[in-house]
Chain A
Amino acid sequence: MVTQTASKIIVKQLSIWFGKVQALKELSLQIHSSEILSVIGPANSGKTSFLRQLNRLNELEANFRVSGEVLLDGEDIQKLSPEILRKNVGMIFALPQVLPMSIYDNVSYGPRMHGIKNRGVLDGIVEESLEASFLWDEVKQRLKESATKLSGGQQQRLCISRTLALRPEVILFDEPCSGLDPVSTAKVEESMLKLKENYTIILVTNNTKQAARVGDRSAFFLMGELIEFDKTQKIFTAPADKRTEEYILGKFG
């Protein structure tokens, strides 16, 4: 495919501050369509701040400042309305945040908000989105039940469905498995690998093994700086930087 190597997202000289703390320092990188980029690094290295810049959630913080540029399909994201941007760039959080409503309403919430009212269309979207996150078979009998009754792993996959229901182009995962057991984690990883065919995925993870399993390319962040960025295979077998190697071998706390 031609789009395989096209740059979906281009980040240029991106710096982020919260008050006096600089969370990200002059980050530049390009993310291709239909790849999974995994971002690894110790706590407080700016991974979350990076993700939240891509859908402009950072600007909810009162003391936030930014410089540099992020281009989505060649267009500066600051020129888009945040609502349109966030519809196209979905996000899955570390702790599943199902809304206090039914399973069906959770998934159809986004499409309804963006103006889709037809029941048949919504039913189709709900089924399709739940299928894509491998949740459909587990919940199809009880779509009307409250989503808060689901298990943690199911809730996380429901959040993925909810994001997919908007048919985004990019999906951001911020440590999506940090609160899940190994079986649920495997299911979430399975759906990420499936989604890769149609979406650009950025996965922030504190689990280096997970990064190695699902990432096409990997980026190593340390204290707000991009230390190394390469094919996952290369990062995990022959890292160029000593600090990357130390982190992968578990030498950072």
Chain B
Amino acid sequence: MKLRLLKEFIIEKLIFLSGIASILFVILIFTFLLKEGISFFKEIGLKDFIGGKYWYPISEPERFGILPLILGSLLVTLGAIIIAVPLSIACAFYISEVVQGKAKDILKSGIEMLAAIPSVVLGFIGIVTLVPWMKKVLNLPTGLTALSGSIMLGLMAMPTIISISEDAINAVPKAYKEGALALGATRWQAMYRVVIYAALPGIIAASMLGIGRVIGETMAVMMLSGNAAVIPSTLLEPVRTLTATIAAEMGEAVHGGLHYYSLFAIGIILFVITFMINVIADIFLHRNKK
């Protein structure tokens, strides 16, 4: 009896500890980021950092404007949204409304499995297939463009968006659809006017979670989008994102120098962006549950 109580006690404390640890880690990471980044903001100032047009961290005099990087990230992400969201919604509808039986299960678990492919592998596949193809077909000087990055990120966001949207569509009461059909709606009208309408909050949340997942994605984008830190004007030019900048320059930056701290400052900006996206997605998901 005593032994059992002891076991209970130990297990309980272990679970408690692991819960606390994960919260602690997040807090530690953020304080570390803040500590390293703050000194940089003191030196350069938030306005010049975010609004500056030039990113020349190692020239003389050095310039730390991350506007091109922010725009690069935005452009690639926006492209990814435009590619991934409509496709994913169509795909979710196909899975929940069109295919039936075994094919449905296979598709569903297949798509969830796609989410597990490491991004380096995807980036590599992109480099050997997508990039040369883009260069040839669009007749560009290089296939390493914002568009290549967008396509890859879009593909990476799709499994999340599809599987959560599909859940949202499935959760729409069957009665809504039958109600519409009984009024003489075609299958398409019932889907379009009623099912999407009822599943919309879930679909929006799914899209935001999918995008939130890939906005911090580094490897594939760094490999595919060309890494030129200039303000882009079209999707067909090389761009550089916030994440790729950190990954590419952390190794070279002099430890303790201004460049080194600027990368932490970029980290803070990224952290804030992803945090906001997740919060907004959460609000939509919870509204859906009510």
Interface string of B163-176 (1 = CB under 8 A from A): 00000000001011
Task: Tell me how far the C-beta of A202 lies from the nearest C-beta in chain B, rounded to whole angstroms.
Answer: 14
Candidates B100, B175, B184, B197; contact of A110 at CB < 8 Å: B184
Given the complex of chains A and B, what is the CA–CA distance between A163 and B179 in angstroms?
Answer: 10
Q: CB distance A101 to B184 under 8 Å?
A: no
Interface hits, A54-81 → B, CB 8 Å: 55, 57, 60, 62
List which A62-116 residues lie within 8 A (CB) of chain B: 62, 82-87, 90-91, 93, 95, 97, 99-101, 109-110, 113-114
Q: Is the CB of A114 within 8 A of B178?
A: no
Interface residue B193 (Cβ < 8 Å from any Cβ of A): yes
List of A residues within 8 angstroms of B178 by Cβ? 57, 60, 93, 97
Contact of A93 among B175, B185, B198 (CB under 8 A): B175
Q: Which of A97, A99, A100, A114 contacts B184 (CB 8 A)?
A: A114
A97/B179 in contact, CB under 8 A: yes
- List the B side residues contacting A91 at CB < 8 Å: 182
Question: In whole angstroms, what is the CA distance A82 to B181 when docked?
Answer: 9
A113 near B197 (CB under 8 angstroms)?
Answer: no
A135 at the interface (CB under 8 A from B): no
Within 8 A of A (CB), among B154-201: 173, 175-176, 178-186, 189, 193-194, 197-198
Select from chain B the residue with minimum beta-carbon distance to A92: B182
- Count of A interface residues, CB-CB < 8 Å: 26
Q: Which of B89-115 contact A (CB under 8 A)?
A: 100-101
Closest to B172 in A: A100
A166 at the interface (CB under 8 A from B): yes
Interface pair B182/A113, CB less than 8 Å apart:
no
In the complex, A113→B42 CA distance in Å? 61
A113→B173 CA distance, assembly (Å): 21
**Which of B100, B173, B182, B189 has a CB less than 8 Å from the CB of A55?**
B182
Given contacts A97-B175, A109-B193, A113-B193, contact A163 B183 (CB under 8 A): yes
Residues of A within 8 A of B185 (CB): 83, 113
Which residues does chain A contribute within 8 Å of B173, judged by CB atoms? 97
- Give complex CA distance A87, B198 in Å: 23
Task: List A contacts of B189 (CB < 8 A).
Answer: 113
Residues in B with CB closer than 8 Å to A159 are 179
Which A residue's beta carbon lies closest to that of B100? A62
CB distance from A104 to the nearest CB of B (A): 15
**By the criterion CB–CB under 8 Å, are B179 and A86 in contact?**
no
| Cα distance A82–B184 in the bound complex, in angstroms | 7
Q: Taking the complex as formed, is A162 at the interface, i.e. its CB lies under 8 A from any CB of chain B?
A: yes
Q: Which residues of A contact B (CB under 8 A)?
A: 55, 57, 60, 62, 82-87, 90-91, 93, 95, 97, 99-101, 109-110, 113-114, 159, 162-163, 166
7 shortest interchain CB distances as A-B pairs: A87-B184, A97-B179, A97-B175, A110-B183, A86-B184, A91-B182, A83-B184
